[in-house]
Structure 1
Amino acid sequence: MSGDRNSNSHSRFAHAFAGLLVQRAGSVLLVMLALLAVSLWGTSKLHINSNQLDLISQDLEEVKDVKQVIDMVGGSGFLMVALRSSDEAAMKRTADDLAAILQADKENVRNVSYKLPVEFIQQNMVLFVKTEDLVEGKRRIMEFLRDKLKRSNPFFIDLGGSKPVELNMQDLVDKYSSIGKKSIRDDYNISNDKKMLMLLVKPMWDNTEIGKTKEYLERLKGQIDAYSAQPGKVKLVEDYKLMGDDKTIAYGFTGSYKTTVDDSYAIEDSLEPVTLIALGSIFLITIIFFRKLAPTFLVVIGTVVGTLYTLGFTYATVGELNMITSILGGILLGFGIDYGIHFIFRTRLELGAGKPYDVAIRDAVMNAGRPAAVAAVVTAGSFFVLMVSEFRGFSQFGFLAGAGTLILGLTLFCWSASILALAGRINPELPQKLIGIMKPPPTNSATTGKELRIPKPKLVLGVSTAIVALICAAAVPWAGSEEPPKGVELGFFERLKYGVSFNYNTRALIPDGMSSVLLQDEINERFNISSDPMAIYTKDLDEAEGVYRELTQNPEKYPSIDQVVSIFTFVPPAETAAANAKVLEEWKAEMAQLEADGFSVAALPPEMQANAEFFQKVLDAKPFDVHGVPANYTAQFRNLPSAKPENHGYLTYIYASVDLMDGQKMLAFSDETRVIKASYTPGKFDQDAWDPKAPTVEKEFRAAGATQLYARLARIVLWDGKLTVVLTALWILAMHFLDFRNVKLALASVIPLGVGVAMMLGIMALTGLRLNFMNIIILPILLGFGVSHGLYLLHRFLEGTSPLVALRSVGAAVASSTLTAVVAFAALLAAAHNGLRSMGLVACIGLITTLVVSFTVLAAVMQLMYDRRQRESGKPSGEGGSAGGGKDSEPKAA
C-alpha cells in the first residue's frame, strides 16, 4: 500500500476480497468454470428476435394502428417482384406463371396482385372526365363521323376546297389514361414504356418480421430457379441492372419487406468480419504493449469468458437478442479488456517494486481495483441510462451492456488474479516470468537529482487549451438554427459557420448501391409512384368517403401527399357523372340521327371498326355509386374475412410525394398524416338507415404504416440522444464527486471526457462529418467509457506520486486500453453498412481526443495541482520526492 490514504480508503470487504482471490484461487477458478459451463448452455439457447415491431412499446398509438392494418389485410406494405425485359409478351407470360406459383404457396403467401381487369373503368371513364372535355371529345368524333358520312355519299364531289377531317384524340386520351396512378390501358401492372412489370406479394406476416422474410426470399429464389430451368421457359436472372429480352428476363425484389431485410442484415452481415478484425487488432495491440504472449492470452481469454457470462445473463433475464443487442458481444470485447489490461500493468508494477507474488497480486487488486470499480460503475451507469428510452432496442441494450460491464470488470480481476496466484503456488517466480515486471518510475533525475516533472505546465495548459478551444469552436453553429443548403458542396470556411449538423437523410446510412433501394427508385421513375403507402382505417363507407374527399379536395393542407387511392377512387363524382350522362344521352340521339342519315360502321377505317362495339358500351354508361364498383376492385380496400370484428372496415391508401428516406421530409409527411380531421354524413351509404337530415359529423382519423413507425422511432432516437447525454453527464459528475469527495478533483477527472467529446464534435465539423440516427447513440457510450482516462491517472496521482510518475505508471495501461477500444471501433470501418462505419469513425475520433487531452491538458492540471501542494507544504517546486508518499504528501485540489 502507498500510505494512510489507501489504508483508510479501502474497505474491509476489499481487503477480504483481494485475500480471497490469492488464498482461494483454486476455488475461485472452479466456481468461474462452473459458471462458464452454465453460461455456455444459456448462450447456445439464445436466438435473435428479428421482429422490429417488438422493439417499440406496444402501447404507442402508431403500433396499435399498424397492428390493426396487419389484422385487416395481413401486413403493412408489399414484397415487390419486378420483371424487366424489352419483350412485353414474354414478361406477361412469365408474370402469369410466377403468379400461379406464388398463389399456390398458401403457407407463405396471402395474395398476389399483378393485374386488374380494366374494362369496367374503360367503359365508365366517360363519367370521370370533366364535362367540358367530354363535350370536346364528342364534338371531334361527331365532326369526324359526319365528314365520313358526307364523303361516303356517292353524289359527293370534292372540288379540292376541303380536306378530310382527321380524328386526333391523343391529348384527351393521355389526360384520362389512368385512375390515380393506375393506367387503364393495360390489365397488368406494367410501366408505360412496357419494359417493367410488377407483382405485389402480400406474405402471411408483416414486414417487421425480417427473419421470416429472409427465409421466404431464399425459398422464392429457389422456386424461380426451378421454374426457369423448365424446358421452354424464359431464363430468369436476379439482376438489378440488366434489361432482358425474349430469352432472358431480369428480376429483382424490393418493397418494404425487402428493403427492411436488406438494411437489417447489412448490419448483421457486417458484424462477423468486423468482429474478427476487432479481435485480431485487440490481440495485436495488447501484445505490443505487454511485449509478451502470456498476459495477452490471459486478458483476452478472460474477456471472452466475461462476454459469455454476459450472454448467459442475457438468456436468464431477457431471454433473447434483438437486432440492436446482437452487437453486444463485439462492444463488450472492445470495452471489457480494459479492466484486465489495468490489472496486469499494476501487477507488473507491484512485482517490479520487489514484492512477493501474493502480496503483489493482492496490492494490484487493491490499488487498481478502486479506479476500475468506479470506472465500471460509471460506465455501467452510462449504459443503464439508455433504459429510459422508449425504443426497446436501446433500453435492452443499455440494460445488458451495463450489466455486462460490471460482469466483465469483476470477471477479469477474478480470472487474472486467481490464475496468477495458482501459478505462484507452483513456482513463486512463475507470475513474474509470465507477465514480466515494471520497475517503479524514478522520481528524480539521474543527472541533476531534481524531481522529474512535466515541464512548463502553464505553457502546456495555455497552448493546449487554445488549440482545444479553436477545435471546439468549430462545433458551434455560428449561423444559428440555419440549415446548411442541401446538395451544395460547401467550402471549408462556409462549412464552419454551421458547426456540427445532423444528417436526416437515411440514404447516407444504408450500404452503397443497395439493390432493393436502387430498384425502388427505378420503379418510382418508371411507374411515377412512391414507395409503399400508408393506410387510414375507417369503419364504414361513410367515413371512407369523408377521408377521401378531405384528402383530395384540400391538397394545400397535405403538400407531402402525392396520391390518394380509395374505394371511392373508382366512383365518379356524382355531379360530374350526372352532367356527363346528359351529354351521353344527347350523343346517343345524335348517333341515332347519323345512322338514320345512312351512316354505317363499314364506312370507318378497319382499325376503327373493331372499336365500334366498345364505343357503344361507352355511350351506354350510367352513373353509379360505390355499390356499383366490382368486387375485384373493392377487395383491396376491405378487411379480410379473418380480421377481428373490431377491425372490419375499409382502408384508404396514401402515397408520399417526397423521398421518405430523407428524414426531415419523412417527419413532415408523418406530421401531415398523423391525425386527419374529416367530415362525413352517417348512414349515407346505408339505404335502410339513411336520413337526409342527418347532421355532418367530424372525426379524427390516423394514418398507419411503416412511415409513422419510423418517424416515431426517429423522434425517439433524437430525443434519447439528447436526454441520455445529459443524464450520463450528471451521473458521471455525481459518481466522480462521491469517489473523490472534492468538487475540484471531480471536475479535473472529467476533463479528458468533456473536452475530448467537445473536440470530437469540432473535428467532425472541420472534416465535414455529420451526426445521424445511428452515430448519435455513440455519444453516451463515449461518455461512459471515457471516464477511465481521468480516473486511473488521478487515482495513481493521489497515491502520492508526482504527475510524471503517475503518467509513467498507468499511462501505458490507459493508452493500451484506449487503443484496444479504438481498434474495436475502427473495425467498423470495414463494414458495408454506412451507418456502422459512421459509428466507428465517430467513436475512434472521440476515444483518441480523450486520450490526447488526458496526456496534455489533464497532465498539466495535475502538475499545477502538485506544485501548489508543494508550495503549501513549504517545499519548493521540483524538490525530490518519492513515488509512494504518505498522508503528508497527498495532493490537494487546486
Structure 2
Amino acid sequence: MLRPLPFLSGALALAAIFGALALRLTLKTQFDQLLPEDQPSVIELQRLRARIAQGSSISVVLEGDDPGALRRTSQAIVRELEEHRPPWLVEASDGIHALQEFLRPRIGLFSDRRRLASLRDQLQDAWDATVMEAGGLALGLERSPQLPPLEEMSSRLLPADPALSRLGERYPDGYYQRADGRALVVLVRTSIPPGQIEAARAAEERVRTAVARAREEVGALSVRVGLAGDLVTGLSEYSAVLSDLVGVGLLGLAMVLAVVLLFFMRVRALAALGLTIAVGLALTFGTAQLLIGHLNVATAFLISIVAGNGINSGIIYTARYLEVRRGGTGVAGAVRVASTATWLPTFGAAVAAAAAYGSLGLTSFLGLKHFAVIGGAGMLLCWAATYAVTPPLLVLSERVRPLRFDPPGELRGWRALRRGGLQLGDPFVALISRAPFAITALGAILTVGSASLALQYLREDRMEYDTRKVQNDLRSATELYRVSALAREILGVHLESSMVVLADRLDQVLPLKRALEARRDSAPAEARPFEAVHALCDLVAPDQEAKLPLLQDIASVLRKAHARGLVSAGGWERIAPILPPPGLEPYGLADLPEQAARPFSEKDGTRGRVLFIEPTAGQDDSDLRYLLRWTDAFRETVLPSGEKIRGSGRAVVFADMLRSIMTDMPAVLSASLLLTLLAVVVTFRRGRLSLLVLGALLTGVIWLLALLQLLHVRINFINFVALPVTFGIGVDYALNVVQRYGTGEGVRSAIRNAGAAVALCSLTTILSYLALLGSINQAVRSLGLVAVLGELCCLAAAVLVLPAALLLRERRASRAGACPPGLRESP
C-alpha cells in the first residue's frame, strides 16, 4: 500500500457512480409486485388489469348534527367536482339515486311470476266485485272480495332477492347516509391505479379543495370532514413506510458508528469504517438499482441490516491493524499483517453470510428473492470495500498524524483506554477463566434441554395467520382509521372488498355464477368460503315479457281503485312509485344506468362479464386461514362445458405469497445451512476446526428456536428472513475465534484479541437489528426481535461456551504434557 491515494480515489469514484444509481431506487409497496410474473394468479391479475380499470377511490366522510346540511354539502361537493372535472375523475356520487330511480318502477319485475299472477287475480276479483256492487249487481256473497292490505300488496310486488331488499333498506332516500342522519359519504372514484403516488397526492389535494369550496358555498362550516378510501390509506401508509425507512436506516447507522467509536476510542477508526461502510452501501444499492430497480416492503429496511453486518470485516481488519501497531510494527508491516491474517476468515464469513442471504432466492416470493440479491451482494461488496478503502485510509491517516502508543505500564484511566480501546473481550476472558467447567456444563444442559423445544417449534405450525399483526402500526393515523371504519359502516360490504372473476364471454356468466354458488352452498355453514356472487345480470329481471303484462294489469286496477278512493292518499304515495308506468318496455344490460354498470364494465365498454365474490359476513382477509379458504373457492372454476375460469386479485396474490413461504421454508433453511457448512469447510480446509465452528453455530441456533417456542413467536413473510440469515451471520463469530485459536494462540489470548472484535461485530449487528424495533411495521419489528435473539445466542455460544470447552481441553492437554490438537492445525 505504497500509493494509497490513487487506490482510494478509484474506489471512491466507483462508489460515487453506484451511489448516484442508488438514489434512483424507488419504493414499491404493492404485494402483487412480490410474486413472479409467471405465477398463475399474477398472470390472471395482469389480464384483469388489461381489461378492467383499476382505479382507487376516496371516501369523503361528512359528520354533523344537521342531516339536511350534510346533504346540501354533499351535493355541492359532487357539483364542484363534476363542473370542474379533473381528468382522473370517474364518478363522484353521494348515493344511489340514479339506480333507485331506474329500478323503482321496475322493482316488481324481480318478484315471482306466480305471486304476481295471484295478486293480479285477487285485485281483479276485488275490482270486479266493487264495480258490480256500484252498479247494483251484488253477487249475494256473504263477504265480497276485498283489496288486499297495502302491506301485503307491497310485499308481493317487492323482490324476494335479499340483496335488492337490503339496498333499499340501507339507503331509503338514496343517500350514502347513516340511519341517524349524522354522517354521510361522498364516494369519489378515480382512474388512478394503486401505486401512482404523485397522481394520488394531486387527486387528494383536488378533493380537499372541492370540499373547502363546497362548505363555503352552502355555509356549512360546522360540518366536519374526513377523507378515507384506498387512495388516502395507501398514501398515508406509503408516506409512513418512506419515513420509517429513512428513520430506521439513520438510527441503525448512527448506533453502529457510535459503538465503533466507543470501541476503538479513535476518530480515525470511526472515519475509516464510516467511509468504508458508506462505500459498501453505495455499491450494494447501486447494484440493486442495476439488477432490480426498486425496493419493496421486504427489502426497504436492508440499509440498516447491511450496514450492521457489512461493517464486520472492517472491524476485524481495523482491530488487527491497531493490535499490530501497538506491538511496535510499522505502518506497512501492520497493513501487511492485518491483510494477511484477516482476509481469509472475513472472506469466509462474508461468503457464509452471502450464502445465507442467497438461500432466500430459492423461494418464488420475489420479496425474498430481492432480499437475497441485495443482502448477498451487500455482504460481498462490503467485504471488498473493506480491503479497498480501509487500508489506504489508515495509511493516509498515519501520514497526516502518526499513531503514537505509550508503554502500557505508564498509562492510567482515559489514556490507557484510548491506547487499547474498549476491551470487550476481557469480561469473557475473566468469566471463562474463572468457571470453564460450569460454563461448559451449563451450555451443554441448555442445549440438550433446548433441543426438545426447538424440535417442537419446527414441528408445529408457527405461521402468523393474523395479518393485523404484520401491518403498519400507525398510531398517528388513528383519525384516518376511525373515518375509514365509519365509511365502511355506511357503505357496507362494498365491491371494493370483493374479489373479481372475469368471464371470457357473456354466456359463461350465469353458469359460472351457479357453479360458484353451488361450491359455496356445499360447504358447511361454519366454513362458508364467501357470502355471495354479484354480477350485473342480477340487476336485470328475468322473464320480463311474462311479468310486464301482469304488472300493468295490477297497476291499472290500483290506479282505478285510487281514483274511486279505495286506496288512501298515504297508501297511494307509498305504492305508486313501484308501479310500472304505461308503456314500460323490457330492459337489458345496456339499459342499466352508468352508476350501476360501471363496476361491472371493462375498459372497452363491454358490460356484464365481471363478477364479484363477496367475503363471508363477519370474515375478512385479515384472517389468513379464511383468506386461503376464500381464494381457493374461486381461484379456478370448471364450467359444465369444461371451460376453466380463473379468479385473481390482491387476496389471491397474498394467499399465493403465504403458500410460497410455507412451501419453500424447509428448502431455504436446508440450503442456508448447507451453504454455510460449505463456506466454513472451504475456509479452514481441515475437519476439526470446521467442526468447532459448526458446533458453536448449531448450539446458538438450537437456543434461538427454543426461545422462539417459549416466547410464542410466530413466523411471517418478513421475520422468516432472520432464520436462514442467522446461519450465515452467526457463524461469523465462531469462525473468527477459531481462526485465532487455530494459529497457535491459547484460548484466552484468542478471546482477548479476536473476542473483542467479535463482540463488537455482534454488537453492531445487534444494533442494526435493534433499530428495526423502532419501525412502525409490526412484521419488521418481529424481524428485529428474532434477529437480535439469534445474534445473542450465536455470540454466547461463540465467546462463552466454545472457549470454555476449549480451555478445559487445553488444561487437560497441559496436564498431560501434550499440545491441544487444535493448535497443530493451521487455517
TM-score (normalizing by structure 2) = 0.84
> Which of 182, 187, 197 does residue 167 from structure 2 map onto?
182
Alignment correspondent of 2:678: 734
SS of the equivalent of 2:218 reads coil
1:639 aligns with 2:583: no
> Which of 223, 227, 231 does residue 248 from structure 1 map onto?
223
Amino acid at match of 1:254: G
CA positional deviation for 1:767: 2.5
User: Percent of aligned positions with the same letter in both sequences?
Assistant: 20
Whole-Å separation in 2 of the counterparts to 1:168 and 1:345: 91
Contact kept in structure 2, 1:548 and 1:568, CA below 8 Å: no
> Which of 159, 168, 191 does residue 204 from structure 1 map onto?
191
SS of the equivalent of 2:99 reads coil
1:304 aligns with 2:278: yes
The 1:704/1:102 distance shift into structure 2, 3 A limit, reads farther
1:405 aligns with 2:390: no
SS of the equivalent of 2:174 reads coil
Alignment correspondent of 2:361: 387
Whole-Å separation in 2 of the counterparts to 1:296 and 1:427: 15
> Which of 27, 38, 47 does residue 59 from structure 1 map onto?
38
CA positional deviation for 1:124: 2.7
The 1:641/1:128 distance shift into structure 2, 3 A limit, reads same
Unaligned runs of 5+ in 1: 1-21, 155-163, 236-246, 444-450, 484-500, 680-696, 878-886
Whole-Å separation in 2 of the counterparts to 1:733 and 1:180: 66
CA positional deviation for 1:229: 6.2
CA positional deviation for 1:669: 0.9
CA positional deviation for 1:372: 0.8
Match runs of 1:619-698 below 5 Å? 629=592, 633-641=596-604, 650-657=609-616, 658-679=619-640, 697-698=641-642
SS of the equivalent of 2:228 reads strand
Alignment correspondent of 2:824: 890
Alignment correspondent of 2:530: 561
Whole-Å separation in 1 of the counterparts to 2:388 and 2:422: 24
Contact kept in structure 2, 1:753 and 1:786, CA below 8 Å: yes
1:699 aligns with 2:674: no
In terms of mean alpha carbon deviation, does 581-590 or 658-667 score higher? 581-590
> Which of 307, 313, 329 does residue 333 from structure 1 map onto?
307
Alignment correspondent of 2:723: 779
In terms of mean alpha carbon deviation, does 631-640 or 173-182 score higher? 173-182
> Which of 16, 26, 29 does residue 5 from structure 2 map onto?
26
Whole-Å separation in 1 of the counterparts to 2:441 and 2:791: 22
Deviations 1:255-283 (A, max 9, x none): 3x444444444332212222332233223
Deviations 1:735-762 (A, max 9, x none): 1111222344323213343332332232
Contact kept in structure 1, 2:637 and 2:644, CA below 8 Å: yes
1:529 aligns with 2:473: no
Deviations 1:277-326 (A, max 9, x none): 22332233223322333322331232123212323333444444445444
Deviations 1:535-583 (A, max 9, x none): 1112322111222222345532462211221122113344xx6886686
Whole-Å separation in 2 of the counterparts to 1:324 and 1:213: 24
CA positional deviation for 1:214: 4.3
Whole-Å separation in 2 of the counterparts to 1:333 and 1:479: 30
Alignment correspondent of 1:123: 105
The 1:405/1:453 distance shift into structure 2, 3 A limit, reads closer
Deviations 1:454-510 (A, max 9, x none): 4564543222221233345334448965x7xxxxxxxxxxxxxxxxx2211111122
Whole-Å separation in 1 of the counterparts to 2:553 and 2:668: 73
The CA RMSD measured in Å over matched residues stands at 4.2
Whole-Å separation in 2 of the counterparts to 1:731 and 1:180: 63
The 1:434/1:300 distance shift into structure 2, 3 A limit, reads farther
Whole-Å separation in 1 of the counterparts to 2:150 and 2:542: 28
> Which of 54, 57, 60 does residue 75 from structure 1 map onto?
54
Whole-Å separation in 2 of the counterparts to 1:47 and 1:799: 47
The 1:367/1:616 distance shift into structure 2, 3 A limit, reads closer
SS of the equivalent of 2:493 reads coil
Contact kept in structure 1, 2:229 and 2:484, CA below 8 Å: yes
SS of the equivalent of 2:497 reads coil
The 1:134/1:83 distance shift into structure 2, 3 A limit, reads farther
Whole-Å separation in 1 of the counterparts to 2:99 and 2:511: 27
The 1:168/1:611 distance shift into structure 2, 3 A limit, reads closer
Whole-Å separation in 2 of the counterparts to 1:601 and 1:351: 116
Alignment correspondent of 1:547: 512
Whole-Å separation in 2 of the counterparts to 1:319 and 1:63: 20
Amino acid at match of 2:824: E
SS of the equivalent of 1:230 reads helix
Whole-Å separation in 1 of the counterparts to 2:162 and 2:135: 35
Match runs of 1:424-503 below 5 Å? 424-425=398-399, 429-430=403-404, 437-438=419-420, 454=433, 457-477=436-456, 501-503=462-464
Whole-Å separation in 1 of the counterparts to 2:92 and 2:748: 73
SS of the equivalent of 2:328 reads coil
Contact kept in structure 1, 2:263 and 2:422, CA below 8 Å: no
Contact kept in structure 1, 2:59 and 2:487, CA below 8 Å: no
CA positional deviation for 1:97: 3.3
The number of aligned residues is: 789
1:607 aligns with 2:570: yes
SS of the equivalent of 2:472 reads coil
CA positional deviation for 1:608: 2.4
Whole-Å separation in 2 of the counterparts to 1:750 and 1:479: 20
Amino acid at match of 2:621: L
Amino acid at match of 1:529: V
SS of the equivalent of 1:360 reads helix
The 1:262/1:846 distance shift into structure 2, 3 A limit, reads farther
Deviations 1:151-183 (A, max 9, x none): 9999xxxxxxxxx99754598879767428533
> Which of 73, 84, 88 does residue 108 from structure 1 map onto?
88
Amino acid at match of 1:545: L
Whole-Å separation in 2 of the counterparts to 1:562 and 1:517: 25
CA positional deviation for 1:840: 1.5
Whole-Å separation in 1 of the counterparts to 2:823 and 2:265: 34
The 1:857/1:669 distance shift into structure 2, 3 A limit, reads same
Amino acid at match of 1:409: W
CA positional deviation for 1:800: 0.7
Whole-Å separation in 2 of the counterparts to 1:82 and 1:869: 80
Alignment correspondent of 1:161: none
TM-score (normalizing by structure 1) = 0.78
Deviations 1:670-693 (A, max 9, x none): 1111001233xxxxxxxxxxxxxx
Alignment correspondent of 2:338: 364
Alignment correspondent of 2:248: 274
Deviations 1:818-855 (A, max 9, x none): 11121222122222222222121222111112112222
Whole-Å separation in 2 of the counterparts to 1:393 and 1:306: 22
Whole-Å separation in 2 of the counterparts to 1:534 and 1:131: 33
SS of the equivalent of 1:117 reads helix
The 1:478/1:726 distance shift into structure 2, 3 A limit, reads closer
SS of the equivalent of 1:107 reads coil
Alignment correspondent of 1:857: 801
The 1:319/1:888 distance shift into structure 2, 3 A limit, reads closer
Deviations 1:753-807 (A, max 9, x none): 3332332232233223322222112222232211211111110110111222211
